[in-house]
Amino acid sequence: MPLLSTVPTRTLTTVTGTEVPVPDADRLIHLQFRRFAGCPVCHLHLRSIVTRRAEIAAAGVREVVVFHSSADELRKHAAEVPLDLVADPHRRLYREFGVESGPRALLDPRSWPAIVLGVARTLREARRSGAPMPSLRPEGGRLGLPADFLIAPDGRVTAAKHGVHADDQWSVDELLAAVRAA
């Protein structure tokens, strides 16, 4: 599938009912594609985003995070994630943006440290606070790959990354470098 160079105007609705214009006329959109609701690797990554969200917002970026889970399933895991979370259980956005899935998501050894750390933290949080555990059979499966897109106010995709394994996404520093380059 060819990669998008310009994103058509649309409004996405978050799991809390907030409407998000994409593109946003006033700021850049960092459109993230993650895996399933409760994904331990995704949770680790989103923690790094949340920790530095003031810095990201100061750079003129709005975070929008898409999961291939239903809104109901995503809400179970969204309480502590103060970002715009969008459910896409039918993977329409995933297809449009060329975001793939495949066994390499979990089989690539570069993803293994994040998988182990993510699962350990998820188990610890579940025991400590009663946080929900991810499903043993997540909606849409476990083999999704991450992707990141930086979308300018005029709809141009100024930077993009399609992950090759479950833990292959932009770090906050890489995101901010892409913002500076845009």
User: 3-state secondary structure string, 90-104?
Assistant: CCHHHHHCCCCECCH
- Residue 68's alpha-carbon distances to 2, 5, 7, 118, 119, in angstroms, are 21, 23, 19, 19, 19
Rounded to whole angstroms, what are the CA distances from 112 to 104, 108, 154?
11, 7, 38
Per-residue pLDDT at 175? 97
Segments of the chain with pLDDT less than 50: 1-2
CB atoms within 10 A of CB 151: 26
Task: Give the pLDDT confidence score for residue 79 in this predicted structure.
Answer: 75
Cβ neighbours for 79, distance < 8 A, ≥ 6 positions apart: none
CATH of 27-181, one of 3.40.50.720, 3.40.30.10, 3.30.70.920, 1.10.3720.10: 3.40.30.10
93-128 residues labelled b (16+ CB within 10 A) or e (exposed) = bbeebebbbeebbbebeebeebbeebbeebeebeee
Given this model, what pLDDT does residue 43 score?
A: 86
Residue-level pLDDT at 1 = 38
Verdict on whether the full-model pTM lies above 0.85: yes
In this prediction, residue 81 carries a pLDDT of: 86
Domain positions in the chain are 27-181
